[in-house]
Amino acid sequence: MIFKTLTLLLVTMMMVTNTSRAVMEKQTYIIYMDKTKIKSSVHSQDITKPWYESILDSISQVEEEDEEEKEQTSSSNPDLLYVYETTMFGFSAHLSPSHLESLNQIDGFLTAIPDELVHLHTTYTPHFLGLSKGRGLWSESNLASDVIIGVLDSGIWPEHVSFRDSGMSPVPSRWKGVCENGTQFSSANCNKKLIGARAFFKGYEKFAGRISETVDYRSSRDSEGHGTHTASTAAGGLVDNASLFGFAKGTAAGMRYTSRIAAYKVCWPLGCTNSDIIAATDKAIADGVDVLSLSLGGAARPYYSDSIAIASFGAIQKGIFVSCSAGNSGPSKSSVGNVAPWLMTVAASYTDRSFLTKVKLGNGQVFKGSSLYKGKPTKQLFLLYGKSAANNGSERLAQYCIRGSLDPKLVKGKMVACERGITGRTLKGEVVKMAGGVGMILLNSASQGEELFADAHVIPATSLGASASKTIRSYVLADKSPTASISFIGTVYGDSNAPTMAAFSSRGPSLVGPDVIKPDLTAPGVNILAAWPPKTSPSSLKSDKRSVLFNIVSGTSMSCPHVSGVAALVKSAHKDWSPAAIKSALMTTAYTLNHGGRPIGDISSNRSSEMANPFALGSGHVDPERASNPGLVYDITTQGYLSYLCSLNYTSSQIAILLGGNSTCSIDGGLQPGDLNYPSFAVLFSSRSTKKASVTYKRLVTNVGYHKSNYAVKVEKPMGVSVTVEPKNLSFGKVGEKLSYNVTFVVDGRARASGSSSFGSLVWISAHYIVRSPIAVTWQ
């Protein structure tokens, strides 16, 4: 979900305040230990205590110099939050600077990372993705097996019709999870569909203080709606006649609608702390989930200091597939988050469904927009913008319809044009309404492109793209009596340009791992209808008293659970496949042409012909049925990831943080990041490279198609680079056979601007399969 900028500012202010205070006082840290050293070291001192208690006792023994310090001793003791022994080895605790100094003296201590906040980033999408009841991945046999999807988010509304368990078999005996009691939540709220629910807030409350139960539930119950929406997108049951005010009416269904759901609430009013996320992941693995879905994250950072990357590395070693949202900071370059190669990083794109409006200006011009307002068309109303609607001295703020910036005497009975940004889109409508306005037009900037969000406004309102917005600004300033009207057309299907990349979807290349293309693929993430708590308004405004069971929202938070559910479908069809094999199947079968047969476009550009490149859509748009039968897969073992980490020149301590213990890199100096057996190719050259500059990468593919299969390679070479593949043909004699090939990239010698990129593809083609990998060459 796209977050309101003011909320982000509040979070940032809170983090700065807490950080400043922590310089003098205690702060929460995530402590990483080497389990191969720490247990023997600590147990040699006191075998009667758990290892973490022995550590905390040892760092609590601070010399007291006077009576005043003695009085403060109890408050200076470390405060343990969580112990981690599954995803990683360590704990989180509230520590003072002297505690940190003492930790450095303990054999087996690796590092301490300050805790921080990260943020939360469907009736029709199954049809759009090619899923049909009774066929293929939605066949009765494939849906019969138990697959458990763990959702780390803002909780869940357990009574929702999407989470009913009618006709479901008993909870599998392998499940070890529980439904924890809390505010308005008990074990009775769980059933054979929702089989687990836990809440994690120890880390959050160290940042923000005790959670106010007038604002949120101090339990797994969802007050925001985000978690309910994502859980139902991944695995919500079939619900007939689902809609929002009649929009998008149809049968709602999660991607794998027979899956069990386990909800782990880690996100609260101001965000989600890493210490809580790691604790939830640790529990989810121990509970027995098969797939983890995380529609949250922060800025990209080195893998050894990225808590989500560390926790998820422990998950994939247990055979658990992990899907994460790419982030909502697009179209800025290198804005993608959750970039570790063992994560499935999901971008967001449009389907061919829209919620059409028409705006007619007084001069006769007509523009198409988007809205979820349910009501009659407006009359032709006087149109205000900026200065013409502003209180004295608030002209700039009035352009964005900030609270208090509009003059009720000017606005009453009129329509106001508001720029997108700074505050939430529906909040702008509320501000106009409170000032007496009766209509609103949301204007896009040039950087926001032709992005059209559909929102459940509290006033007749619509969004418009950048080109229409530019015309309206000029019209209002030039015409002495500008007017406009809005008519609401409703749900429209069949856009041949779909799918199209969303402008907000975060882009690559990755700042910390440019040797891997991120995001990995794209999935539906714009205007997605899914379950919603009835006590949370569709606009998320407190003044909005409307109650709905389904809501339509947008973000990579929405695209992520689509892929989580699809991964669960593939996993049920191929129970012995590793997370890397499932990821490979999803990536190499993704498509890159829209429904009109043209390359998938990018709506951040004002040019409709602009192609989306792999740094926007990854390998392409997810195609569930093809992913279930990919022909070849690129598998990666733990040793493969270890070799990759070694090629990044990580220290043994940094690698131990990810592995949870000691590890050794090969003394072979031939390791290079590009040899990771990834289903795509990211190639880096210096902008000063000569014609002779080259690099060769190795790949290993496994036959999962027909016993006897012959593949020939086809290369679409990136501009400025020649590509040679050896061998050019692969012949498999049986299922499970592995064959390797080498790819050599050679620059053509022409000067290239630093930071520029060119793109191509490498495709293995047989009589039955097309196995495609994108190529991205970047000059640094």
Query: Given its phi and psi angles, is residue 83 left (phi above 0), alpha (psi -120 to 50 degrees) or beta?
Result: beta
Do strands 528-531 and 267-268 pair parallel, antiparallel, or not at all (unpaired)?
Answer: unpaired
Closest CA to 446 of 503, 383, 395: 503
Structure tokens at 656: 């131990």
Structure tokens at 681: 């190719």
Measured CA to CA, the distance from residue 778 to residue 455 in angstroms comes to 38
Do residues 566 and 586 touch, judged by C-beta distance below 8 A? yes
Do residues 415 and 384 touch, judged by C-beta distance below 8 A? yes
Do residues 152 and 282 touch, judged by C-beta distance below 8 A? no
Q: Across the strands, what pairs with 197?
A: 179, 263
Closest CA to 537 of 547, 528, 551: 547
Active site annotation includes 107: no
Place of tokens 């053509």: 748
CB atoms inside a 10 Å sphere around CB 361: 20
The residue annotated as part of the active site, out of 94, 226, 229, 562, is 226
* CA distance to 133, 158, 227, 276, per residue, from 531 (Å): 20, 11, 9, 25
Query: Would you state the torsion angle of the CA atoms of residues 288, 293, 297, 300, taken in this order, to the nearest 10 degrees?
Result: 90
Which SS3 state, helix, strand or coil, does residue 71 take? helix
Measured CA to CA, the distance from residue 270 to residue 157 in angstroms comes to 20
Which SS3 state, helix, strand or coil, does residue 404 take? coil
How many alpha carbons lie under 13 Å from residue 301 in its C-beta half-sphere? 12
- Non-local CB neighbours of 17 within 8 Å, separated by 6+ positions: none
Work out the end-to-end distance of the chain between its first and last CA atoms, rounded to an integer number of angstroms.
33
Q: Could you tell me how far CA 141 lies from the centroid of its own chain?
A: 30
Do residues 556 and 121 touch, judged by C-beta distance below 8 A? yes
Measured CA to CA, the distance from residue 560 to residue 129 in angstroms comes to 14
- Non-local CB neighbours of 697 within 8 Å, separated by 6+ positions: 672, 674, 675, 681, 683, 742, 743, 745
Measured CA to CA, the distance from residue 408 to residue 405 in angstroms comes to 10
Active site annotation includes 707: no
Structure tokens at 405: 């910036």
The residue annotated as part of the active site, out of 153, 216, 287, 455, is 153
Active site annotation includes 226: yes
Structure tokens at 727: 């061998």
Measured CA to CA, the distance from residue 532 to residue 284 in angstroms comes to 23
Measured CA to CA, the distance from residue 207 to residue 251 in angstroms comes to 41
H and E: helices and strands count for the chain: 22, 37
Do residues 254 and 162 touch, judged by C-beta distance below 8 A? yes
Spell out the alpha helix ranges (H) of 129-196: 140-144
Do residues 354 and 529 touch, judged by C-beta distance below 8 A? no
Do residues 100 and 29 touch, judged by C-beta distance below 8 A? yes
The residue annotated as part of the active site, out of 220, 463, 557, 663, is 557
Do residues 402 and 423 touch, judged by C-beta distance below 8 A? yes
Measured CA to CA, the distance from residue 774 to residue 718 in angstroms comes to 10
Query: Given its phi and psi angles, is residue 413 left (phi above 0), alpha (psi -120 to 50 degrees) or beta?
Result: left
Measured CA to CA, the distance from residue 307 to residue 311 in angstroms comes to 6
Measured CA to CA, the distance from residue 441 to residue 381 in angstroms comes to 12
CB atoms inside a 10 Å sphere around CB 183: 14
Task: Please give the positions annotated as active site.
Answer: 153, 226, 557
